[in-house]
C-alpha cells in the first residue's frame, strides 16, 4: 500500500474519520490495528517479525529495569541486539553473502553449488529494527522508563505513517506521544496539509518525473558521454531526495493531522558546505542514530585523530551496508567516510553560520557547489547496478565531457524545469534557517505556494504508483 496510491488515500481517510471519533485509549488500539493492516497489505507473513521484535524488546526492557545486577542488564541488552540484528541480518544479507561466497569460491576454482534459498526482504525491516534497538539501549542507559502497556509499545514499533521508511523515531520522543492524550490544533492541521502537499509534490513531480531520465541513462553499462553521466548523477541526486524527503514529509504530515509530531528528516541537504553539514541535513534520523548508537560508543572523536578517522570509516561503512546488501552500497559508504575524514583533516567541519552575509559569500557558495558535486559523484555508486558501471560513469565524466545526440540538451532542460521550484523552496529555507518559513509569510504568498504545488501535481504529476526507493532498504 503506497502513499501515492488511491488505495492509501481511501485507507487513511477511513482511518482518520474513525480516529477523530475515539478517545485516547481507543485511538491507540485502533491505530495499532490499522498499522498491522497497513503493513500486512504487503505480506501478512512478515507481521510475525514485527510482533517478535516487539515482544523481545518489550520484555527485555522490563527485565533490564527490574534487574539490580549490571552484568545481567548487559546480557539482556546483548540478547535484544543479537535477536534484532540476527533477524535483520538473515533477511537482508543472506542473499548477498551467499552469492558473494559462491562467486569467491568460483573464482578460486572450487566446485560449489550455487545456493538455492532466496530470502525475500521484508519492507521496512531496517527502520523498525533500529527503532526497537534504540528503545532497549535507552532503557539500559536509564534515559527512559520502560512503557507499561504492551499495546502502546506495539503501536510505537508499528506506527504506520513512518513504519516502512522512517523517520527512525526514538522511543524518548515518540513513546510519550503514544502514552499521553494528543491534541489536534489548528496549526498542526495546517502544518500537516502543507507537508502532505509538499511531500506529494516531491514524489510525483520531482522523483517520478526524473525517474525516466535516470532509468534511461543507467540502462547503459557505459554512458554515451561524460555530460550524460553527470546528468545521471545530478538527476538521481534529486530523484532520491524528492522520493525520500517526499515520503518523510507525507509521513510527518499525516501524523500531524492525528496530533503526532515526527522529527524532521531533511533540511535543505544540497545547500550543505561540507560533509558534516550534509549529514546534519540528510536522512537526519539515521545519521543521528548512527552517531548516538554507533559512532559515539566506538569512541567518537575522544581518542585522537586516527581513532576518529577509524570510527568515521566504520560508521559510514556500516551505514552504507544498512542501505542495501550490495558492494555498491559498501563503496558508497566508504566514499562518504573518506570524504568526512579528508574534510576533518583539513579542518573543514564547521556547520554553523555567523551571518546572512557569510551564507552568500563567494567562498561559501563555492564550498556548497563543491560539496553538491562530490555528493552527486558518490551517488553514482548508490544508483549503479554494479561497481563496474559506476567506475565507467566516473571515468566518462572526467575524460569524455561532450553532449550526446541520444540524450542531450533536451534532458538537461527537462531536468532544470523539474527541479527549479524545489531548489527555490529549499534555498529560502536555507537562507532563513527555517524550513517552515512559509508559515511566517503573508496569506497571499502562502496560498500561492500551496496552490502552485497542488496545480503542479494535478497537471504534471506522474500517477504511476511507483514505489518509494527506500522501501527496498
Catalytic residues: 323
The CA distance from 397 to 374, in Å, is: 13
Cell of 44: 501478512
Cβ-based burial of 151 (10 A; exposed 0-12, middle 13-18, buried ≥19): middle
Q: How far apart are CA 121 and CA 159, in angstroms?
A: 20
Measured in whole angstroms, the distance separating CA 16 from the mean position of its chain's CA atoms is 25
Q: Is 303 helix (H, G, I), strand (E, B) or coil?
A: coil
For 102, list phi and psi in degrees, rounded to 5: -65, -45
At residue 271's C-alpha, the angle toward residues 449 and 415, to 5°, is 65
Question: CB of 259 within 8 A of CB of 191?
Answer: no
- Cβ pair 340, 316 in contact under 8 A: yes
Q: Phi and psi (nearest 5°) for 14?
A: -65, -45
Instruction: Tell me if residue 411 falls in helix, strand or coil.
Output: helix
Q: Nine-digit cell at 408?
A: 542531450
- Cβ(415)–Cβ(409) below 8 Å: no
What's the CA gap between 270 and 239, in Å, rounded? 13
- Report the C-alpha gap between 226 and 206 in whole angstroms: 23
Phi-psi domain of 51 (left: phi exceeds 0; alpha: psi -120 through 50; beta: other)? alpha
Alpha-carbon distance 25 to 28, whole Å? 5
The C-alpha cell of 242 is what?
Answer: 524528492
Amino acid at each position: 500500500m503506497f502513499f501515492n496510491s488511491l488505495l492509501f488515500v481511501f485507507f487513511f481517510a477511513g482511518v482518520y474519520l474513525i480516529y477523530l471519533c475515539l478517545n485516547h485509549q481507543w485511538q491507540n488500539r485502533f491505530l495499532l490495528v490499522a498499522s498491522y493492516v497497513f503493513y500486512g497489505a504487503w505480506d501478512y507473513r512478515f507481521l510475525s517479525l514485527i510482533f517478535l521484535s516487539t515482544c523481545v524488546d518489550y520484555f527485555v526492557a522490563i527485565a533490564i529495569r527490574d534487574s539490580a545486577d549490571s552484568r545481567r542488564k548487559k546480557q539482556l541488552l546483548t540478547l535484544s541486539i543479537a535477536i534484532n540484528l540476527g533477524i535483520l541480518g538473515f533477511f537482508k544479507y543472506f542473499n548477498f553473502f551467499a552469492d558473494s561466497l559462491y562467486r569467491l569460491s568460483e573464482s578460486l576454482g572450487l566446485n560449489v553449488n550455487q545456493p538455492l534459498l532466496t530470502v525475500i526482504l521484508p519492507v521496512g525491516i531496517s527502520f523498525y529494527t533500529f527503532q526497537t534497538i534504540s528503545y532497549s539501549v535507552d532503557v539500559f542507559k536509564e534515559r527512559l522508563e520502560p512503557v507499561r502497556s504492551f499495546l502502546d509499545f506495539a503501536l510505537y514499533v508499528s506506527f504506520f505513517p513512518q513504519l516502512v521508511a522512517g523517520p527512525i523515531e526514538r522511543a524518548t520522543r515518540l513513546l510519550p506521544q503514544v502514552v499521553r492524550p494528543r491534541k489536534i490544533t489548528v496549526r498542526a492541521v495546517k502544518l500537516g496539509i502543507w507537508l502532505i502537499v509538499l511531500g506529494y509534490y516531491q514524489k510525483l513531480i520531482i522523483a517520478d518525473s526524473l525517474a525516466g531520465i535516470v532509468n534511461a541513462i543507467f540502462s547503459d553499462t557505459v554512458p554515451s558521454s561524460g555530460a550524460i553521466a553527470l546528468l545521471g548523477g545530478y538527476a538521481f541526486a534529486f530523484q532520491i531526495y524528492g522520493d525520500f524527503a517526499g515520503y518523510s514529509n507525507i509521513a510527518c504530515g499525516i501524523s500531524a493531522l492525528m496530533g503526532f509530531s515526527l522529527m524532521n528528516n531533511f533540511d535543505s541537504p544540497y545547500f550543505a558546505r561540507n560533509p558534516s553539514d550534509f549529514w546534519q541535513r540528510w536522512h537526519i534520523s539515521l545519521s543521528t542514530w548512527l552517531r548516538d548508537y554507533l559512532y559515539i560508543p566506538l569512541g567518537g572523536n575522544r581518542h585522537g585523530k586516527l581513532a576518529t578517522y577509524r570510527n568515521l570509516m566504520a560508521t559510514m561503512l556500516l551505514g552504507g551496508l544498512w542501505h542495501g546488501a550490495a558492494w555498491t552500497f559498501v563503496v558508497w559508504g566508504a566514499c562518504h567516510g573518506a570524504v568526512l575524514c579528508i574534510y576533518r583533516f583539513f579542518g573543514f567541519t564547521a556547520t554553523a553560520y555567523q551571518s546572512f552575509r557569510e551564507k552568500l559569500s563567494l567562498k561559501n557558495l563555492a564550498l556548497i557547489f563543491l560539496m553538491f558535486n562530490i555528493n552527486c559523484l558518490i551517488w553514482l555508486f548508490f544508483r549503479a547496478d554494479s561497481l563496474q558501471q559506476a567506475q565507467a560513469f566516473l571515468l566518462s565524466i572526467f575524460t569524455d565531457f561532450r553532449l550526446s545526440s541520444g540524450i542531450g540538451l533536451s534532458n538537461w532542460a527537462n531536468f532544470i524545469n523539474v527541479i527549479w521550484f524545489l531548489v527555490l523552496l529549499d534555498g529560502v529555507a536555507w537562507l532563513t534557517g527555517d524550513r517552515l518559513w512559509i508559515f511566517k509569510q503573508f496569506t497571499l504568498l502562502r496560498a500561492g505556494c500551496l496552490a502552485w504545488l497542488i496545480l503542479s501535481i494535478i497537471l504534471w504529476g506522474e500517477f504511476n504508483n511507483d514505489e518509494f526507493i527506500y522501501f527496498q532498504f
